[in-house]
Structure formats: C-alpha cells, structure tokens
C-alpha cells in the first residue's frame, strides 16, 4: 500500500483524544485516523449498482406481512425445522 501525505485541521480537543486513544490501543495516531477515514467513507458510500443479492419472489402479496409467522413456523413449527 502506497501512502500519501495530506493535511487535516483538527480542533485541539479532537487531536488530544486521538493521541490518548491511539496510545491506549497501542497503535499509531495515523492508523487510528486511517480507520476513522475508512469508516467515514463506508458510512457515506453511495452505490450506483444493486448489491447483486438474489431476489426472491414468493408469489404471495401478503408474504412480507406474514413473514414473522412464516419464519416461526419454519424454524420452530411442524415443517421440520431445527429447534
């Protein structure tokens, strides 16, 4: 991984907390900041494409409304699910 230097302006209190947290966790301040940047990017990511997860169509328009009952029957009921 190639790292590039950048400048970020932080309030004194935030910088103090970064220093304390990094020391407490036994990591560098830079690594803690990189983790924070990764989290910020992930939480603000906008996906242009669907996730590619399989789509299920039960054919039952009331399926969503009955899903808790259906799952309860499947897992704990008489359909042979595990207890």
Global model pTM greater than 0.75: no
Q: What is the mean pLDDT of residues 46-55?
A: 75
Write down the pLDDT at residue 78. 55
* Cβ density class 56-71: b for 16+ within 10 Å, e for less: eeeeeeeeeeeeeebe
Average pLDDT over all residues of the chain: 86
Q: How would residue 8 be classed by pLDDT, with cut points 50, 70 and 90?
A: very high
Mean pLDDT throughout 32-47? 90
How many percent of the chain have pLDDT more than 90?
48
The answer, yes or no, to whether residue 51 has pLDDT greater than 60, is: yes
């Amino acid at each position: 991984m190639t790292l590039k230097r950048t400048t970020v302006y932080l309030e004194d209190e935030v910088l103090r907390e970064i220093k304390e947290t990094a020391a407490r966790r036994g990591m560098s301040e830079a690594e803690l900041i990189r983790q924070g940047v990764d989290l910020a990017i992930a939480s603000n990511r906008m996906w242009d494409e669907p996730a590619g997860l399989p789509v299920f169509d039960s054919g039952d328009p009331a399926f969503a409304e009955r899903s808790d009952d259906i799952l309860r029957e499947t897992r704990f009921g008489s359909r042979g699910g595990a207890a």
